[in-house]
């Protein structure tokens, strides 16, 4: 691992203020709480913004949609995709240098009854937050979380991992469903964890259908 996992909010703040790839790896095992539910993060993807990452929403510069990606770090970048799903990213890096980590999947570790009530059609608990759109649905996260400080004591809270995740327990591979930089191995997950989403390589869509790249499609 590029740097050790933090054990205190201050350490987590330092992690998120640094480069996006170490931040992505360091978010594995962290806890995200919202809407009466807490998930342990099991899968993430890193997006570097304007610095040569065509899969990023910030690749072409600042827009009203992606403005929060430019800092400060530790904020929530929430966006709507495919006309039906919310996805959430954690902003990383120094102010002015857009980067973010997409939260792709998690294990519900608290508030399981609330999570099941939000997603009554899901048969297995491991599928409740298995994918970025499912994760947001399970936590009740929507546009109102955009720009929130995730390290503060607010409605959406990010907290460090209870125990360190060893290097041997982390896998890396290509990001899911992006239109550019298909094979960049910036998706990280807890090896063999059943809540990790299924990998799908990008397939070009027919003309006339929207294709929403990173960070990233709903998955």
Q: For the chain, give the percent of residues with pLDDT over 70.
A: 86
| Global pTM value | 0.86
- The C-alpha atoms of residue 191 and residue 169 are separated, in whole angstroms, by 5
pLDDT score for 101: 97
Q: Give pLDDT tens digits for 21-42.
A: 999 999 999 999 999 999 999 9
Distance of CA 157 to the CA centre of its chain: 13
Nearest C-alpha neighbor of 197 from the set 134, 111, 114, 108: 134
More confident residue, 131 or 203: 131
22-26, 86-90, 134-138, 203-207: which range is least confident on average?
203-207
Name the pLDDT band for 206 (thresholds 50, 70, 90).
low
Measured distance CA(132)–CA(120) in Å, rounded? 18
DSSP-derived secondary structure for 153-198: SSSEEEE--SS---GGGEEEEPPSS-SSSTT---EEEETT-TTSPP
The domains found in the chain, sorted by start residue, are 9-190 (3.10.300.10)
Question: Span 191-210, mean pLDDT?
Answer: 71
Considering only residues 209 and 63, tell me which one the structure prediction assigns the higher pLDDT: 63
CB 39, CB 109: distance < 8 Å: yes
Percent of the chain with pLDDT over 90: 63
**Residue with structure tokens 């397939």?**
203
């Amino acid at each position: 691992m590029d740097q050790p996992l933090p054990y205190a909010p201050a350490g987590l703040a330092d992690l998120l203020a640094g480069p996006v790839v170490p931040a992505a790896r360091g978010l594995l095992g962290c806890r995200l709480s919202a809407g009466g539910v807490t998930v342990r993060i099991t899968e993430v993807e890193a997006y570097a913004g304007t610095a040569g990452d065509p899969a990023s929403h910030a690749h072409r510069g600042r827009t009203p949609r992606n403005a929060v990606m430019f800092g400060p770090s530790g904020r929530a970048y929430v966006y709507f995709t495919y006309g039906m799903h919310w996805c959430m990213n954690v902003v990383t890096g120094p102010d002015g240098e857009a980067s973010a980590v997409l939260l792709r999947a998690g294990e519900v570790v608290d508030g399981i009854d609330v999570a099941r009530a939000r997603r009554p059609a899901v048969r297995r608990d491991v599928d409740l937050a298995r994918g970025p759109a499912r994760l947001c649905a399970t936590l009740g996260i929507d546009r109102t979380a955009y720009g929130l400080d995730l390290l503060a004591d607010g409605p959406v809270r990010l907290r460090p991992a209870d125990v360190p995740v060893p290097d041997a327990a982390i896998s890396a591979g290509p990001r899911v469903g992006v239109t550019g930089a298909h094979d960049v191995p910036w998706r990280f997950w807890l090896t063999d964890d059943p809540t990790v989403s299924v990998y799908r390589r990008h397939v070009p869509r027919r003309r006339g259908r929207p294709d929403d790249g990173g960070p990233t499609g709903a998955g």
